[in-house]
A and B are shown apart, each in its own frame.
Chain A
Amino acid sequence: METLRNKARELLASKTVRVVIGYGRGSAGGARAVFIRDPRHADGLIFDGTCLQNLAVYLMKPEVRQLGKAALVATPHALRTILQLAAENQLPDHELLALAVTAAGDVVPLATFSAIEAHVAALNADLSADEKAELRRYEAMGLEQRRTFWEEQFSRCLKCYACRAACPLCYCSRCTVECNQPQWIPVPAHDLGNLEWNVMRAMHLAGRCVNCGDCSRACPVGIPLYLLNQELIANVFADFGFRSGLAAKSENAMSTFKPNDPEDFIR
């Protein structure tokens, strides 16, 4: 952590960046996002097992962007998010300094997208063995059991949109749920509206989600949203050979196609 704090101090004192977006100690021993602008406050930076939030979400927030050039303490998921945002033309190159922190506590500054790509290439971008096993358990459950499982889960959804707010890739300034001509996704949190919202969210993240898990952590009522995203991550890879968040210049899985995409289900 001291390496990270020193790096932050140095970056701010030399005005290389205007703000270091990182983690600080929060309530109940947890971590929270901090926006360090004064090098004297760099002591507040931490990096440990509590630092899970995907801080890349702040790269799309106008109030943070206007603070000026940023350094971002980036978990592997945040790094992939930066590449995905770049692939979607949301971030310009050379204007963000990503600070990857290794297990040993060393800080790896990544000043360009190609530097981030090289770093990410060494990571495993696939779902973990445990994640795959969990998906298989649900797949093995059978249709009716899955239906009642998700019906119960979505009956608890509040439509608070914490999942949307926490996701760095849900950056539309006017989300589809906020359009009312027509009101495509119902506003009230009744069972049907909740299903439609959750289907919409999963589909709009298909081929984009980097599996950071912030949606599920944000959900106040504990719906395992990550299952939906992981199922689509697995399917998009199996069907199209595509993974998100690996390159700053990349096609988008859902706006491209291959002439031989599988169509055994089409009569």
Chain B
Amino acid sequence: MEMEIRSTDREALAKLFAQWRAEGKRILAPKKSGDKIDFAPVTSLDEVSLDQVQTVQSPKTAVFPRVEELFSFSSMDGRVEIRERDPAAVPRTVIFGLRPCDAAAFSSLAAIFTWDYPDSLFSARLAATAVVGVSCSRADEFCFCTSLGGGPGATTGSDILLTAAGGGAYLAEIVSEKGRQLVAGAGGLFQPAMAKNKESFLAKVDVAFDRDKIGPALAALFEDTAFWAEQSLRCLGCGACAYVCPTCACFDIQDEGGVSGKRLRCWDSCGFGLFTLHTSGHNPRPLQSQRWRQRLMHKFAYMPERQQVLGCVGCGRCSRACPVDMNILEHLRAVAEAKP
């Protein structure tokens, strides 16, 4: 079925926000916070910031919360009661203003969370979330979506993709069934398409490397300890890259409370030394270089191999957030160009 193209404008979008609020939906959108711009719950379009190239964090918290209760427990007289979360009770959410790279990331997350064990909470959150993306009119040196099959105007993963066409007007591509339902429920807020060329409003992001080369190159470089040591000498082993990343899905599970309490799931990072530390004290990845190698291997070799999807969308957040400028694009170029 051919994708329907419509048009809308800021005024209509503001009304759409009000409608979503009236329907009890949570709206997550980029919002200024000090000198950073990040996804936060908003109630009106006025709060939304769209001039930035990218936000600090991804919107993955909508489907993979930073801290999530899995169940609560209490015990009394030797009996233990467990109260599971009701997947039907997750908040209905609209993510507004994310970029095409962020929209593409949901399929990477879904590949992990529905792989060998169907994660009901994740699936419920994903089903309850509508994605209204905004294409990119600007990019910076950290962006490399096109090298991974994405693009500043790519529609994959969005339910509706908006493209700013000047003067407050937007082209609106209705990508999915969810998108069609949003439009159907929005009265006259989406008008027929206007005769504008979407491409003319998009940023240019040159392809930086051949992505088909990366997997085999990584495999060939696996034993090259000097290569990995060189790349990772300045890495401090914090979790910033994993936490801002839209596709990173590693998590920890923690029980809090005592006789009664909660089981929580929270984000984790393969960059931490603790990540693979055994109770015995043995660590299969004792060096930061091995942990850095694992990060790239997981995203560009293991995930494509096992889940047929890349673990990276080229958003560049990790590079921007890294306190020591571990620029993943630079590192991938080095991988692609390395002579084994």
Residues of A whose CB lies within 8 Å of any CB of B are 26-28, 30, 32-35, 53, 57-58, 61-64, 156, 158-162, 164-166, 178, 183, 186-190, 214, 217-218, 220-222
Contact A57 B229, beta carbon cutoff 8 Å: no
Contact A160 B36, beta carbon cutoff 8 Å: no
Contact B35 A222, beta carbon cutoff 8 Å: yes
List 19 additional contacts besides A30-B325, A221-B56; criterion CB under 8 Å: A26-B325, A33-B233, A33-B324, A35-B233, A57-B236, A61-B236, A61-B288, A158-B66, A158-B243, A160-B238, A161-B272, A162-B236, A162-B239, A186-B254, A188-B252, A188-B254, A188-B264, A220-B321, A221-B38
Contact A221 B289, beta carbon cutoff 8 Å: no
Whether a CB of chain A sits under 8 angstroms from the CB of B150 is no
Contact with A along B228-269 (1 / 0, CB 8 A): 010011101111101110000000101010000000101101
Residues of chain A within 8 A (CB-CB) of B142 are: 27-28
Greatest chain B CB density within 10 A among A28, A34, A61, A160 is at A160
Complex CA gap A239/B238 in Å reads 34
Residues of chain B within 8 A (CB-CB) of A61 are: 236, 288
Contact A221 B57, beta carbon cutoff 8 Å: yes
Residues of chain A within 8 A (CB-CB) of B244 are: 220
Cβ-closest chain B residue relative to A34:
B234
Top 6 nearest A-B pairs (CB, nearest first) are A188-B266, A218-B323, A165-B238, A165-B236, A160-B239, A32-B325
Residues of chain B within 8 A (CB-CB) of A218 are: 236, 238, 240, 323
Residues of chain A within 8 A (CB-CB) of B239 are: 158-162
Residues of chain B within 8 A (CB-CB) of A57 are: 236
Residues of chain B within 8 A (CB-CB) of A166 are: 236, 238, 323-324
Contact B238 A63, beta carbon cutoff 8 Å: no
Of residues 1 through 48 on chain B, the ones whose CB sits less than 8 Å from some CB of chain A are: 33-36, 38
Q: A26-B325, A63-B229, A221-B57 are in contact. Are A187 and B236 (CB under 8 A)?
A: no
Residues of chain A within 8 A (CB-CB) of B323 are: 53, 162, 165-166, 214, 217-218
Contact A27 B330, beta carbon cutoff 8 Å: yes
Complex CA gap A172/B142 in Å reads 33
- Quote the shortest CB–CB distance from A22 to chain B (angstroms): 11
Whether a CB of chain A sits under 8 angstroms from the CB of B274 is yes
Whether a CB of chain A sits under 8 angstroms from the CB of B276 is no
Which residue of the partner chain, among B36, B266, B289, B330, contacts A222 with CB atoms under 8 Å?
Answer: B36
A-B contacts, 5 listed (Cβ < 8 Å): A33-B324, A62-B287, A165-B323, A188-B252, A217-B323
Whether a CB of chain A sits under 8 angstroms from the CB of B137 is no
Complex CA gap A220/B321 in Å reads 5
Residues of chain B within 8 A (CB-CB) of A214 are: 323
Residues of chain A within 8 A (CB-CB) of B240 are: 158, 160, 162, 218, 220
Residues of chain A within 8 A (CB-CB) of B327 are: 26-27
Q: A27-B330, A35-B233, A161-B272 are in contact. Are A222 and B34 (CB under 8 A)?
A: yes
Contact B267 A189, beta carbon cutoff 8 Å: yes
Contact B237 A165, beta carbon cutoff 8 Å: yes
- Quote the shortest CB–CB distance from A66 to chain B (angstroms): 10
- Quote the shortest CB–CB distance from A53 to chain B (angstroms): 7
Whether a CB of chain A sits under 8 angstroms from the CB of B158 is no
- Quote the shortest CB–CB distance from A68 to chain B (angstroms): 13
Residues of chain B within 8 A (CB-CB) of A32 are: 234, 324-325
- Quote the shortest CB–CB distance from B176 to chain A (angstroms): 30
Contact B267 A158, beta carbon cutoff 8 Å: yes
Contact A58 B234, beta carbon cutoff 8 Å: yes
Which residue of the partner chain, among A26, A35, A162, A183, contacts B254 with CB atoms under 8 Å?
Answer: A183
Contact B266 A35, beta carbon cutoff 8 Å: no
Whether a CB of chain A sits under 8 angstroms from the CB of B119 is no
Contact with A along B49-85 (1 / 0, CB 8 A): 0000000110000000011000000000000000000
- Quote the shortest CB–CB distance from A93 to chain B (angstroms): 25
Greatest chain A CB density within 10 A among B67, B254, B267 is at B67
Complex CA gap A34/B56 in Å reads 25
Complex CA gap A218/B321 in Å reads 8
Whether a CB of chain A sits under 8 angstroms from the CB of B163 is no
Complex CA gap A57/B288 in Å reads 14
Complex CA gap A21/B90 in Å reads 50
Contact B38 A28, beta carbon cutoff 8 Å: no
